[in-house]
Amino acid sequence: MIIGHLAVVGIAKLTFFERENLAVLAVASFGPDILDKPANILLGMPGRGMSHSLVVFAIVCILACIYWLRMTKNPRLLCAAIILWVSHLAGDFLQWRVLLWPFWGSLEPGPKFHFAEKLTSYYVEFRYPYQLWFEIICITVLLCIVFSKFFTGNALSYGSSQSLKSLLLKLAGKFSRESAQEKTF
């Protein structure tokens, strides 16, 4: 899932975390890859290595909580970052061996990450169907939100009265008015 992680950032930014920093959201969403991919390219470590495990996730959470408590930063941003990190782990459909490292045994070094090859294996050879479907769902949800925002001037934001429902009601109302006009003529 490559574009899917980006779509999740878009969904978060347009819904529950509109006021939160976009760069932090993006870094959290790609966090495990930001740590693991350079280690894979430079040191030959697994592309989905220890940074994709729950142990590293727990360490990152603890460090982030300490930093946030000291700096008395907005807790919503911390919450958003944690959710997006979890969404990355979920979207990657990780093996238990990776998720539960080091309790499930050691990780074997994987092939060197190559962006073009990865794109081909995802979108041309369909080697990861579950991830691809999950990605399609994320992109579809994002497009629905953007579509809703475009027509209603308001995304499906937290506490917002405008929503996809209102958009559908508007479209339904427009359709019924047009049908009534056709019948009149």
Q: Quick check: 13 and 25 in contact, CB under 8 A? A: yes
From the list 15-23, 29-37, 139-147, 150-158, the region that binds Zn ion by CB under 5 A is: 29-37
How far apart (Å, rounded) are the C-alpha atoms in residues 7 and 44?
29
**Where in 80-99 is the site for Zn ion (CB under 5 A)?**
92
Q: CB of 38: closest distance to Zn ion in angstroms?
A: 13
Q: Quick check: 118 and 48 in contact, CB under 8 A? A: no
Q: CB of 45: closest distance to Zn ion in angstroms?
A: 13
Helix (H) or strand (E) holding 147: helix 129-152
Q: Which is nearer to Zn ion, 93 or 104 (CB)?
A: 93
How far apart (Å, rounded) are the C-alpha atoms in residues 136 and 20?
25
Name the residue type at position 76.
Answer: R
Q: Which is nearer to Zn ion, 20 or 92 (CB)?
A: 92
Q: CB of 14: closest distance to Zn ion in angstroms?
A: 23
Q: Which is nearer to Zn ion, 32 or 46 (CB)?
A: 32
Q: How many residues bind Zn ion (CB under 5 A)?
A: 3
Q: Which is nearer to Zn ion, 33 or 135 (CB)?
A: 33
Q: Which of 33, 45, 56, 152 binds Zn ion (CB under 5 A)?
A: 33
Q: CB of 36: closest distance to Zn ion in angstroms?
A: 7
Q: Which is nearer to Zn ion, 8 or 156 (CB)?
A: 8
**DSSP string covering 31-98:** HHHHHHHHHHHHH---TT-GGGSHHHHHHHHHHHHHHHHHHT--HHHHHHHHHHHHHHHHHTT--HHH
Its sign, for the CA torsion 119, 112, 26, 31, is: positive
Q: Which is nearer to Zn ion, 136 or 172 (CB)?
A: 136
From the list 25-33, 106-114, 139-147, 175-183, the region that binds Zn ion by CB under 5 A is: 25-33
| Residues lying near Zn ion in the complex (CB under 5 A) | 32-33, 92
